[in-house]
A and B are shown apart, each in its own frame.
Chain A
Amino acid sequence: MQKKIFIIFLFLVQIGFMRAQESKMVPIQEGFYIPLYGATSKKPVIVKSFYLDIFPVTNTEYLNFVKRYSEFSKSKIKGIFADNSYLSYWRSDFDFGNANPKAAATNVSWFAAKKYCECQGKRLPTMDEWEYVAMADEKRIDARTKTEFNKFILSWYEKSKTYENRIGQTFKNYWGVYDMHGLVWEWTADFNSIFLSGESRKDKSADKNLFCGASSVNATDLMDYAAFMRYAFRGSLKARYSTRNLGFRCASTTKL
């Protein structure tokens, strides 16, 4: 009898642990990196130490949020904060239908993602923070020059419906963070800080240096095509947009 109770207890602990783990954060040490874009001189950008969610926000977690803040439910959200595809795969306001509870919440606008993080006492990571963490593989802080690493990132573009996958299935990186690559795109606080006009081949003009012709001249690492895609993707977004392959995770400047 005691044994049984103990097992049930362990099981509960396990559930509790898993739940906590989903929104658990890890510290990211201060460091610097040379971004692919945005640096006119190749000066390194310093990223101050901060905390980042280990996993992207899941459907279950987002449902809990929507239940507490019903103005962010599918039917109630204001048009200026989200377009028509907001939570389009959800069956109703408080039901995400057949979607995997442990899959990343997607079709969430930037406004909604920002609000979610704020309600947790967190914030969205900046693009520099996100890119800084995303350049790590299992062992290195900066794996951007590694062929295998880039291949892994690029291979994701050719896999369909990865948004259906559970979080935490991809590799655990140097910082202990999962799913920076291979699951879904993610919002950053300043996703549109580097301006992409939509014509990727414009050259020379300083604010439009993100397109292919220019990018090949300006990019710090020619082979970092994987990153080109992220910048191009971000450039196509507006804050009210939501798409099936775009989720988010939260960050924090201080330990929570």
Chain B
Amino acid sequence: MKINFKTLARTQNYFFITMFLILLIACKKEVSTDYTTIKTQGEALAELTSPPLVPKPIGDRAAIKLKVNMEIKEQEGTMADGVKYTYWTFGGSVPGSFIRTRVGDEVEFHLKNHPDNKLPHNIDLHAVTGPGGGATSSLVAPGHEKVFSFKVINPGLYVYHCATAPVGMHIANGMYGLILVEPEGGLPPVDKEYYVMQGDFYTQGEYGAKGLQAFDMNKAIKETPDYVVFNGKVGSMTNGNELTAKVGETVRLFVGNGGPNLVSSFHVIGEIFDHVHVEGGALTNKNVQTTLIPAGGSAIVDFKVETPGNFILVDHSIFRAFNKGALGILKVEGDENKNIYSGTIQEGIYLPEGGTIQKMPENSSTKTVAPKRTLAEKISNGKQIFGTTCFACHQSEGQGIPNSFPPLAKSDYLNADSKRSIKTILHGLSGEVTVNGKKFNSVMPAQNLSDDEIANVLTYIYSSWGNNKTEINPEMVKALR
């Protein structure tokens, strides 16, 4: 009994000593995360990049005095095809130049306002500890320069933006960007790094209205944007500007949200983020499908691409992606990996009630006899079919949706070959097509329509929106079925 008690007491002692040691180590660790006292060694000029590029990693170097030259330019740019907008920019791009620092760096910031600009500007960097994040010291008139300096003492990915009255308008016109503060030793190495930043835009005209579009303050106050885009414009990362990677590579995205109003539900279709630095801070989450990025906030996401194909970056508040522009593409090339993704193995028929599966058995409607109709009947009948079946993608005036669904209005693709049009409705269409000079790479499913219905809807389409008025008969459809 006695011995047993002694052993117990000894064990208890060991326990306390161990606990004490653990606490001691923990405390020591706390002390080493105070970066205010880091001494800088030497100085250099910061490398700045426009999106989607990111400067080279620098986390493994010592803290230095880093000079940043940032020029503000008010300039006209392209929001979408045929749509111009006057952007206010940090460094000539929206979002502004990417600034990469290491914790402990002393940043000497030179903010220059181009002489041709009309307005004064300043900068609030969320990475700054100090009044206004630098805004109090940086109000700069056109044709002038302001210099201020700050020490970056918290690792993370931070938004910077203009904070001159009216602040909302300056941000809505594109005055935001990202500044990265790398931890000691840097972030884990990856193969590809990209810079993506979302923003919402408010224009006098509706989405797609041509010409130079003015900023609309009323829409901004109501928070009803016409455009929600990545990197300042529709199509910044599609149609030849895709982000790229090879199968097996790891990809890191520095994602920001400039707002001014909307919160982003950032998602990459067909990928799962291996790691997410939640809100750009130290907390790391794993295996994330969609991460929330607040206006004026960020996230660092990384993932390994295991299969080839196009991976679509979206704001999963999904109408923003397909109707307002928040869509980009990461194009991955390399060998298929059938263990991870097989592709379609078999195409079958499933016939529940309702129209979810839109593939018809071959020959199913060949026996029904189509009624004879006049041209006017066909058009009015076809219009109704269009309104229920086609318009969701091709839109009410056949204008389609840029980069997603091809136009039917004045469509060269459509007018060139009516047989091809019939086959498209009968059998669906996938893969790249060029319509009116624009490339589309999407999928249209086969449509569950009778010969008569297909003839009617095509006749309606051909007789509308400047198309060539081809008349389609049910017999022509039947012949191609």
Tell me the A residues contacting B by CB distance below 8 Å: 83, 85, 88, 107, 151, 154-161, 185, 196-202, 210-212, 215, 223, 225, 228-229, 231-233, 235-238, 241-246
Which of A85, A159, A161, A198 is in CB contact (< 8 Å) with B136? A198
Within the complex, the shortest CB–CB distance from B80 to chain A, in Å, comes to 17
Contact status A201-B143, CB under 8 Å: no
**Chain A neighbourhood of B116, CB < 8 A:** 160-161, 244-245
**Bound-state Cα–Cα, A241 to B146, Å:** 13
Q: Which residue of the partner chain B has the closest CB to A147?
A: B218
**Bound-state Cα–Cα, A243 to B72, Å:** 15
Contact status A211-B165, CB under 8 Å: yes
Contact status B132-A243, CB under 8 Å: no
Contact status B212-A201, CB under 8 Å: no
**Bound-state Cα–Cα, A232 to B140, Å:** 10
Interface residues of B in 108-123 (CB under 8 A from A): 115-120, 122
Contact status A196-B217, CB under 8 Å: no
**Chain B neighbourhood of A232, CB < 8 A:** 119-120, 164-165
**Chain A neighbourhood of B167, CB < 8 A:** 200-201, 212
Q: Which residue of the partner chain B has the closest CB to A198?
A: B139
Which of A85, A200, A238 is in CB contact (< 8 Å) with B115? A85
Within the complex, the shortest CB–CB distance from B83 to chain A, in Å, comes to 14
Contact status B141-A233, CB under 8 Å: yes
B215 at the interface (CB under 8 A from A): yes
Which of A200, A202, A210, A241 is in CB contact (< 8 Å) with B141? A241
**Chain A neighbourhood of B165, CB < 8 A:** 200, 210-212, 215, 228-229, 231-232
Contact status A223-B144, CB under 8 Å: no
Within the complex, the shortest CB–CB distance from A201 to chain B, in Å, comes to 6
Q: Mark B130-170, 1 if CB is under 8 A from A, else 0.
A: 01100111111111100000000000000000011111110
**Bound-state Cα–Cα, A80 to B127, Å:** 36
Contact status B86-A199, CB under 8 Å: no
Which of A198, A223, A237 is in CB contact (< 8 Å) with B138? A198
Which of B135, B136, B217 is in CB contact (< 8 Å) with A225? B217
B76 at the interface (CB under 8 A from A): yes
Contact status B132-A201, CB under 8 Å: yes
Tell me the B residues contacting A by CB distance below 8 Å: 74-76, 86, 115-120, 122, 131-132, 135-144, 163-169, 212, 214-215, 217
Contact status A236-B141, CB under 8 Å: yes
**Bound-state Cα–Cα, A161 to B118, Å:** 9
Instruction: Other than A201-B135, A228-B165, A246-B142, give 17 A-B pairs with Cβ distance below 8 A.
Output: A85-B143, A88-B115, A88-B143, A157-B86, A158-B86, A159-B86, A160-B74, A160-B86, A198-B122, A198-B137, A198-B139, A212-B167, A225-B166, A225-B217, A228-B166, A229-B166, A236-B144
Pairs A–B under 8 Å by Cβ, sample size 29: A85-B143, A88-B115, A107-B143, A156-B118, A158-B212, A185-B118, A196-B139, A197-B136, A198-B132, A198-B139, A199-B122, A199-B135, A200-B167, A210-B165, A215-B166, A228-B166, A229-B165, A229-B166, A233-B120, A233-B141, A235-B120, A236-B120, A236-B141, A236-B144, A238-B141, A241-B144, A243-B142, A244-B115, A245-B117
Contact status B142-A154, CB under 8 Å: no
Contact status A243-B135, CB under 8 Å: no
**Bound-state Cα–Cα, A212 to B167, Å:** 6
**Known A85-B115, A88-B115, A160-B86: A201·B217 in contact at CB below 8 Å:** no
What is the count of residue pairs linking A and B with beta-carbon distances less than 8 angstroms?
Answer: 113
Among A158, A233, A246, the one with the most B-chain Cβ atoms within 10 Å of its Cβ is: A158
Within the complex, the shortest CB–CB distance from A80 to chain B, in Å, comes to 16
**Chain A neighbourhood of B122, CB < 8 A:** 198-200
Which of B117, B140, B164 is in CB contact (< 8 Å) with A200? B164
Contact status A154-B214, CB under 8 Å: yes
Among B144, B164, B167, B214, the one with the most A-chain Cβ atoms within 10 Å of its Cβ is: B164
**Bound-state Cα–Cα, A246 to B166, Å:** 20
Within the complex, the shortest CB–CB distance from B267 to chain A, in Å, comes to 32
**Chain B neighbourhood of A159, CB < 8 A:** 86
Within the complex, the shortest CB–CB distance from B201 to chain A, in Å, comes to 13
**Chain B neighbourhood of A246, CB < 8 A:** 142
**Chain B neighbourhood of A211, CB < 8 A:** 165
Within the complex, the shortest CB–CB distance from B89 to chain A, in Å, comes to 13
| 7 smallest beta-carbon distances between A and B, as pairs | A198-B139, A236-B120, A199-B132, A199-B136, A236-B141, A158-B86, A212-B167
**Bound-state Cα–Cα, A245 to B212, Å:** 21
Contact status A199-B217, CB under 8 Å: no
Within the complex, the shortest CB–CB distance from B164 to chain A, in Å, comes to 5
Which of A85, A158, A185, A243 is in CB contact (< 8 Å) with B214? A158
Contact status A223-B143, CB under 8 Å: no
Within the complex, the shortest CB–CB distance from A32 to chain B, in Å, comes to 25
Contact status A245-B136, CB under 8 Å: no
Contact status B212-A242, CB under 8 Å: no
Contact status B142-A200, CB under 8 Å: no
**Chain B neighbourhood of A212, CB < 8 A:** 163-168
Contact status B135-A242, CB under 8 Å: no
Within the complex, the shortest CB–CB distance from A51 to chain B, in Å, comes to 28
Within the complex, the shortest CB–CB distance from A232 to chain B, in Å, comes to 5
